[in-house]
Amino acid sequence: MSIPSTSFLPALAPGDVEQAAQLIQRALTPQSQLSAQEQRNVQQELFDVQKRPESWGLVIPFLQHSDPNVQFFGAHTVQVKIARDWDSFPHEHHGELRDLLVAVTGHSIVAGYNKVILRKLFVAITSLAMKLCTPSQSEWPEWPLSCVQRLSELGASTESLLDLLAIVAEEVESADLLAPQKSKMERLLGNAVPMVTQVITNCVSRPRTHASPNELRSALKCFEAWMPYVPANDITPLIPLLIALLSPASIVAELDENEFTMASDALQEIMSKSALSDGVGTKSLTEPLLLWCEQYGTAIVDRTINDGFADPISRSFCKLLSALGDHSTQYFASNLASAASPVLSRPVTISFPSKSRLVQTFLRLLMAYTGIAGYYGVDEEESEMTLGFWYLFQESLWSSGPDPDEDDADPPSSKMSGEQWNISKAVYSELIRVLRRKSVWPPKSVLQEWPRDQKDKFQAYRRDLGDTLLNAYYVIRDDLLAFYVNDLAQRLSPDIAHPQWEEIEGTLHCIMAVQEGVPLEDNPHLARLFGQEILGRLPTSGGTRVRRTAVLLIGAYATWFTSQYTQPPGPGTPSLLMNAISYVVSALPEPALCLPAANSLRDICDANRTALAPHISAFGELHAGLANIPDTEKGKVLQSIASVIQALPAEEEIAPVEAIVNPVVAKLYQALQSSAQLPDETRALVYQQLQIITGVARGLTRTNDSLLIFDDSPDIREELERMKRARDDPRTIHLRESILDAIRRTVALWSTDATISYALSELIKAVTSLPSDVTLLSLSPGPLLELICVASQKQLTAVWLSLATMLVVQLNPPSLLPTTFKTLPTSEAHAVVLNVLLSLLQTSLAFLRQPGSMNENPEIVQTFFSSLETIALHFVSVFHQLPPQLSDALMQCAIGSLALQERYALVASCTFLATMINRTAAAEGLEEAKNVFAQKHGKNIMHSILSGFAGVAPRTATPNLIELLSTMLTRFPLQSKEWINEILYSPDFMPSKATSEAKEKFVKTIFSSRSLRRTREAAQQFILVARGLEGSSFGYSSVAM
């Protein structure tokens, strides 16, 4: 085969070519045994060779070399040169390069080069075509068609042409092209679709002329790659051919594994990514596949059941069923009880089963894979593939009524026909049986052989099963609970001497999984579950897994108990609520169960405070037995007790709160006094005591319902008044003083420890509140802010700054009653905030002005400016009372932050400056302060904004800079125009791609319109121009985002 002239390429001496080839062989031949450093040096040399303009001349000699490694480098070089150095290639030689590349590719195909080399050449051809076919001109008209035609003339095989076409589609799909160029490429590929589908049809039709599995694989891979460009009308004729590949070639033949798997993959792609996805093509795709499943599916599933595992054909069939389920869910729901038979798009003479039978056969086959024998992750992987369908099917059943109405209050079942409803209930009734069996853990003897990652995998699988069970509950409702509770009753029957605890645990898990859907109303099945018949027969010792699940189940249904009557203390059968609490409490002393038991106790007590308040004496007994509970979980247990205490009248809370808090505070004092002797042990003990006090404070918090802030009912007013009187009691005053002193001592000793500072943070959050939710332990924010300033002076962290932000808000809380005018903060609060601001600014600015500090601590920068924004929002006047030197240092820091490369820190700085400017301008009596601010800092802020536009700031932060620019234009319109003109046309403004015309257009646009949208658009366009991104796909896509 003759190669076109290469005279237009640089000519290299044979010796230079051979030397470069030897360098490649040295780098890529395993026998070279180069050290890591030598390998890097050789790779760098090759990279340097490839960068030179003369390397174009290496392509043909390398491709004609006998060593495949050198051939590969030749193909790689032409790909790289086209992609990276195209602008330097002479325009007059474009056509010659095109012809040469196609010719050398044809030669390489005929010569039998490795497919890796051919792939490089195919990518190079596609890359070259995209360079030559621009929206304005085309130096390679209809290049997919002409390229295939020319390679075919050169003797390329069909398999190679299919590989080329697959790469063409993949490369065009993934190329970063502007819209006009992308549209042209897609049009050219669209013109080639008839040719592509014809070649594919010839390869997949039976009997195939060339029964090469590689050719079939190439044809189907090509089909999958071209799927986005092939219209539905061209896909439809291929579907019968693909379904034929799923079937045996003859009556006596077996299924061909390779053909089956490849055809199944192609059909899955059609259903998920083609013009026939999302339920399109029921007559041409869904029903033909269902008819095939009716004929062949049962045999595949039966063989799988007999063999005890899924072979490659069975696994591929499972994937096909799952894809069909995702594609045609609505069809299945609508035709679940349909007596009509399919009418295919092509005429046939035989009669077909009813649609109902076909759908039910499909459901039976998919159910078989959902319940395939064995444990997931060990014996099978197929069951997990099917779970998503049952969710989609339930959703489709709900929407399959004849007249859906968003305002219809009737349940979805009332919109289905009687037969459809009966079948769907039967399907999901079977599903819950299957899922219960699949959720059971193996016996201990088997489980101990599993590695940790397999246990975690099975645990995640059980969570997925739980999600599917919730969908089943929405269909069959109480029938699900009835089935599982009856199952438990049978397995816990007194007649069974040795219950199968793994099976019982699996059933409990299934009931827990559907809790989200169970309404908060009386339910006889749950009453049986939490009564003596079920819960009363579960083990209270041993059986760790089943007890753990039972405890978690109780916690999950904590809110359901609010629908039950809880009888007061006294003789008689315990209520369901107390029955459940007793079971949870019995698990607390055991280390393996203490954590879930403490969590469940906390949840159930929190949800049922009022009902449990009469039983406070029982919780006193629980408190007396705290010695048997690990310190790590005591906080949750005491939080549970505190939740019950909170339901008592405020004056009756004092004694029990004292009883549970005083010992903890005393233990904390003792630990702090011994900190010097045993620092590690003390740190752990201090952390635990802080966590326990935090838990108690959270338990005493009445509610998280912010609507109660505005509740002005007499009952609420009376309750707040009683709480005020209880807080004024000397005992509670002493208690709060003790807690505050303990916090003060802890800050003095341990505030620089990360673990202790976290515990202090959680405690301060728990013991502070808005006025509507004050408790006996709530502390005033003022003294705590002083302690935060002390801690920040020892070590500035985001933790302390975040706490300061929260407490500043509490100094200016929302009114208990809605008013027309916002209440102003008190003079005392104003004084506190001013002192706090002085302290935090001195500490923070001293830290941030250190070289590299702002870049190395973006979290502190972000939190610092967020805290300042909050202060500006509530107490803006304090900024204008700062000493001038400190105020200037703050503004310098804020303006300097606008050049940070960490987005969140820069955004926080932008937000602070915008809030500061807006609040100053809006506040009464600060007109002079606004003018001084503009005079001293306005131009510097504008300079930073415009420099950020020009490239100093990261692209992701420019929207925030634009918002800050809009604020400046709104609040300082005349000054801003003067500043912008001075800055943009100044010789020392940051160098950028923006011309004088671009700057003038930007200035004219932003000042000719007061529209925020126009300002944003003008700024975005200026950013693109200034950064040299105008006309680039990256630039426009980032603006769109």
The answer to whether 119 and 167 are in contact (CB under 8 A) is yes
The 10s digit of each residue's pLDDT in 645-657 is 999 999 999 999 9
The residue that leads in pLDDT, 535 or 719, is 535
Q: What percent of the chain has pLDDT over 70?
A: 93
Amino acid at 680: D
Residue 625's pLDDT is 85
Instruction: Assess whether pLDDT exceeds 60 at residue 1.
Output: no
| Positive or negative: CA dihedral 591, 595, 600, 602 | positive
Q: Which residue has the tokens 């629980």?
A: 622
Burial class of residue 649 (count of CB atoms within 10 Å of its CB; 0-12, 13-18, 19+): exposed
Judged by average pLDDT, the poorest of 15-24, 291-300, 891-900 is: 15-24
Structure tokens at 715: 């009952």
b/e burial code for range 313-349 (CB count within 10 A of at least 16 → b): bbbbbbbbbbbbbbbbbbbbbbbbbbeeebeeeeeee
The residue that leads in pLDDT, 987 or 378, is 378
Residue 31's pLDDT is 66
Highest mean pLDDT, choosing among 254-258, 482-486, 647-651: 482-486
Instruction: Assess whether pLDDT exceeds 50 at residue 1041.
Output: no
Highest mean pLDDT, choosing among 28-42, 619-633, 903-917: 903-917
Residue 679's pLDDT is 78
Instruction: Assess whether pLDDT exceeds 70 at residue 414.
Output: no
| Predicted confidence band of residue 629 (pLDDT cuts 50, 70, 90) | confident
The phi, psi pair for 376, rounded to 5°, reads -60, 135
The phi, psi pair for 35, rounded to 5°, reads -70, 170
Rounded Cα distance between 1029 and 1036, Å, is: 8
| Predicted confidence band of residue 404 (pLDDT cuts 50, 70, 90) | very low
Judged by average pLDDT, the poorest of 215-229, 363-377, 556-570, 582-596 is: 556-570
| Predicted confidence band of residue 346 (pLDDT cuts 50, 70, 90) | low
Instruction: Assess whether pLDDT exceeds 70 at residue 504.
Output: yes
Burial class of residue 389 (count of CB atoms within 10 Å of its CB; 0-12, 13-18, 19+): buried
Average pLDDT over residues 126-141: 90
Residue 517's pLDDT is 95
Residue 765's pLDDT is 94
Residue 799's pLDDT is 95
Report CA-CA distances (Å) from 9 to 55, 100, 677, 883. Answer: 9, 11, 82, 72
Residue 906's pLDDT is 94
Rounded Cα distance between 219 and 245, Å, is: 13
Rounded Cα distance between 318 and 324, Å, is: 10
Instruction: Assess whether pLDDT exceeds 80 at residue 1040.
Output: no
The residue that leads in pLDDT, 320 or 1007, is 320
CA angle 661/584/758 to nearest 5° reads 45
Judged by average pLDDT, the poorest of 294-303, 399-408, 629-638, 921-930 is: 399-408
The 10s digit of each residue's pLDDT in 759-801 is 999 999 999 987 778 999 999 999 999 999 999 999 999 999 9
Average pLDDT over residues 189-215: 84
Rounded Cα distance between 764 and 742, Å, is: 12
Residue 631's pLDDT is 80
Instruction: Assess whether pLDDT exceeds 80 at residue 498.
Output: yes
Rounded Cα distance between 810 and 780, Å, is: 9
The residue that leads in pLDDT, 389 or 1012, is 389
The 10s digit of each residue's pLDDT in 539-561 is 999 889 999 999 999 999 999 99
Structure tokens at 244: 């034929």
Instruction: Assess whether pLDDT exceeds 80 at residue 197.
Output: yes
The residue that leads in pLDDT, 813 or 63, is 63
Average pLDDT over residues 710-730: 84
Burial class of residue 882 (count of CB atoms within 10 Å of its CB; 0-12, 13-18, 19+): middle
The H-assigned helical ranges of 826-902 are 827-848, 853-856, 858-875, 884-897
The 10s digit of each residue's pLDDT in 817-848 is 555 556 678 899 999 999 999 999 999 999 99
Instruction: Assess whether pLDDT exceeds 60 at residue 812.
Output: yes
Q: What SS3 state is found at 133?
A: strand
Instruction: Assess whether pLDDT exceeds 70 at residue 921.
Output: yes
Average pLDDT over residues 96-120: 95
Judged by average pLDDT, the poorest of 111-125, 619-633, 681-695 is: 619-633
pTM for the structure as a whole:
0.84
Q: What is the mean pLDDT of the chain?
A: 90
Rounded Cα distance between 674 and 681, Å, is: 10
Instruction: Assess whether pLDDT exceeds 70 at residue 513.
Output: yes
| Predicted confidence band of residue 1038 (pLDDT cuts 50, 70, 90) | very low
The answer to whether 105 and 122 are in contact (CB under 8 A) is yes
| Positive or negative: CA dihedral 226, 227, 229, 231 | positive
Rounded Cα distance between 56 and 63, Å, is: 12
Average pLDDT over residues 695-712: 69
Structure tokens at 739: 């807690």
The 10s digit of each residue's pLDDT in 985-1006 is 998 888 888 888 989 999 999 9
Instruction: Assess whether pLDDT exceeds 90 at residue 857.
Output: yes
Instruction: Assess whether pLDDT exceeds 80 at residue 944.
Output: yes
Residue 1013's pLDDT is 86
Residue 32's pLDDT is 66
Rounded Cα distance between 942 and 917, Å, is: 13
Residue 288's pLDDT is 95
Q: Which residue has the tokens 């059609």?
A: 270
Report CA-CA distances (Å) from 372 to 313, 369, 432, 523. Answer: 15, 5, 14, 33
Residue 1032's pLDDT is 54
